[in-house]
Structure 1
Amino acid sequence: MARLLVSVRSADEARLALAGGASIIDVKEPAHGPLGRACSGAWAQVREVVPADVKLSAALGELTEWRGDDPPGVPPGALAEFDYLKVGLAGVGPDWEDEWRALADRLDAGRVRWIAVAYTDWEAAGAPSPTALLRAAFPFRGVLFDTWDKSKPAAWPPDFLDVLAGFRDRDATIALAGGLTVDRLAEISPFRPDIVAVRGAACVNGRRDGDIDPARVAELTSLVGEIGAG
């Protein structure tokens, strides 16, 4: 069965997502972009309320935000208890893989599993294509297909099943996101994702800048649980 990931901004939102049955709690600040990085205080507060048997994830913004002489500050050990980390690749240049590796070494997050982000609108984002990610030597453990432009839902290319097969051959966990709603879950069922990731669909009135609605999370949890994962 697929698992539901819900992105939250705070400990209070994490409690609401857990009450609705979310399997994975992702810390993200939606006001800061598609993979908006929350402050380290939010990481710590969410970590304190999430049970040990629930996986924790954190969005770290775009890789370009970590460049320069004044990158974001990360207190020692701030991410050590997270299971998954992901960083977007919008606007990166040809050395993106070296930069990604340098960021991973700098954060030294222990047991964390890095998730590659494949933007379905990668050309508009100026990001590597899914094929380029598949060729990467960086040891990522999963891939998240998401949208960079949050005004549009994800559009799956005609060869998407073949793309997914390539990542499965690499033994990568498959996560799907990008404007997914209750009505679109049947559409992604043939792709057999391991994880379905949402923000807006779990919020009041379906707005990603709204508050988490546990009733919406419960409905999503039930429906996502019916999607078989390969």
Structure 2
Amino acid sequence: MMLMVSVQNYEEGLEAHKGGADIIDIKNLQEALVGSAHPWLAKELRAVIPPEKHVSITLGVVPNQEGTVAMAAYAAGRLNATSVKVGFLNTEYGAAVSTLRASKKALEGTQTKLIGSTFADSRLYKGLEADCMVELAKEGGCDGWLIDTLTKDGRNLFDFVPEERLHEMVFRGKELGMSTALSGHLKLSNLDELARINPDIVGVRGAVCSKGERAGTVSWEAVAELKRQIELRKSGEILVHGGNGNGHANGWVVIDGTSQNCAGIIAALTAQVEKDAKSLIEVIIPDALNIYDVILWSEKRGHRLLNQRKEGKSVRVLVQP
């Protein structure tokens, strides 16, 4: 579970970086509901943020102009953004799919990933339902997706979509090999819910601002504390739910997931079972939160989780197909 911090200027970008944010997300909160920052800000931050750290660009709520959006995505690719987020509100589903496909084509020849985005509170604006996000991202050829909120009345993501539904969507996204991200006025008090859902990315702004609200400025100390709290849950020092499973079998295959995200681990498990449904599979998981998605993957497919044990900073989980 990576921490993404939204920034509006150069100084905030440096604060987010200093605090240990995994992703520096550049956007413009003063432009309409949410818009895109000027390209020179992305260029300046990409020049000083180490290449191994993610710098993403948010296009915001995009207009119903496919070529305009594709051109903006093209610019994000040429700025070496890690990813570009394309958000839809008052857009028909078919038009959104077409716009995403055009944006994907615009990114050819770059390393920039395409992220589709919808809003959990879209009903307030008579917009495209967030519930379609996974299928929209799949049909649009996205590398991942984000669900956010737009309302500024104090409500957040969980006021519009329940934890159970968010978990279903995140898990489905992982099964499809997509990165999954949740945002929307999230606070430190939401971390246990988020950890149970276990998206690849958690996006915040107000939670790491000096005044505790998005109108303030990003503070590196607040970023560092939120990052620390996330790591406590990833390491299992703060438990957010329990484990299960037992059984026995013979034959043995090891999947080393230490350099993979949760989607990669699940994809490797699925491929291994399709190739060999008899051997035991031991998977090495570096992030304790991913254990629960492996458990769910096993249960959904009728596999048995035999045991799990901690080894250093990793956890080894044994699965019988």
Q: TM-score range by the shorter chain?
A: 0.7 to 0.9
1:204 alignment partner in structure 2: 210
Q: Which has the higher contact order (CA 8 A, sep 6+)?
A: 1
Contact 2:59 2:72 in 1 (8 A): no
Q: C-alpha root-mean-square deviation of aligned residues, in Å?
A: 2.6
Please state whether the residue corresponding to 1:115 is helix, strand or coil.
strand
Matches within 5 A, 1:74-89: 79-80=77-78, 81-89=80-88
Is 1:219 aligned with 2:225?
A: yes
1:129-173 CA-to-partner distances (Å, cap 9, x unmatched) read: 344332232221122121122332112324332222221211111
Please state whether the residue corresponding to 1:32 is helix, strand or coil.
coil
Q: Unmatched 5+ residue regions in structure 2?
A: 235-288, 291-321
Q: In terms of mean alpha carbon deviation, does 35-44 or 133-142 score higher?
A: 133-142
1:99 alignment partner in structure 2: 99
1:144 alignment partner in structure 2: 146
Q: In terms of mean alpha carbon deviation, does 139-148 or 155-164 score higher?
A: 155-164
Q: Unmatched 5+ residue regions in structure 1?
A: none
Contact 1:35 1:88 in 2 (8 A): no
Identity across matched positions, percent: 25
1:3 alignment partner in structure 2: 2
Q: Normalised by the size of structure 2, how large is the TM-score?
A: 0.64
Matches within 5 A, 1:142-221: 142-151=144-153, 152-155=155-158, 156-157=161-162, 158-221=164-227
Contact 1:114 1:140 in 2 (8 A): yes
Q: Report the CA distance shift for 1:68/1:23 in structure 2 as closer, same or farther (over 3 A).
A: closer
Contact 1:125 1:148 in 2 (8 A): no
Q: In terms of mean alpha carbon deviation, does 138-147 or 214-223 score higher?
A: 138-147
Over 4 Å off, 4+ runs: 68-78, 106-109
1:112-141 CA-to-partner distances (Å, cap 9, x unmatched) read: 111121321232344433443322322211
Is 1:119 aligned with 2:119?
A: yes
Is 1:132 aligned with 2:144?
A: no
Q: How many residues align structurally?
A: 228
Please state whether the residue corresponding to 2:180 is helix, strand or coil.
strand
Contact 2:134 2:145 in 1 (8 A): no
- Higher Cα Rg: structure 1 or 2? 2
Query: What letter matches 2:213 in structure 1?
Result: R
1:44-101 CA-to-partner distances (Å, cap 9, x unmatched) read: 111122111101101002221x628977985975533111110110111242211232
Contact 2:73 2:84 in 1 (8 A): no
Distance 1:36 1:7 in 2: 12
Q: Report the CA distance shift for 1:164/1:77 in structure 2 as closer, same or farther (over 3 A).
A: closer
Please state whether the residue corresponding to 1:31 is helix, strand or coil.
coil
2:259 alignment partner in structure 1: none
Distance 2:74 2:84 in 1: 16
Distance 2:68 2:57 in 1: 21
Per the TM alignment, residue 227 of structure 1 is displaced from its structure 2 partner at its CA by 3.5
Distance 1:74 1:100 in 2: 12
Per the TM alignment, residue 104 of structure 1 is displaced from its structure 2 partner at its CA by 4.0
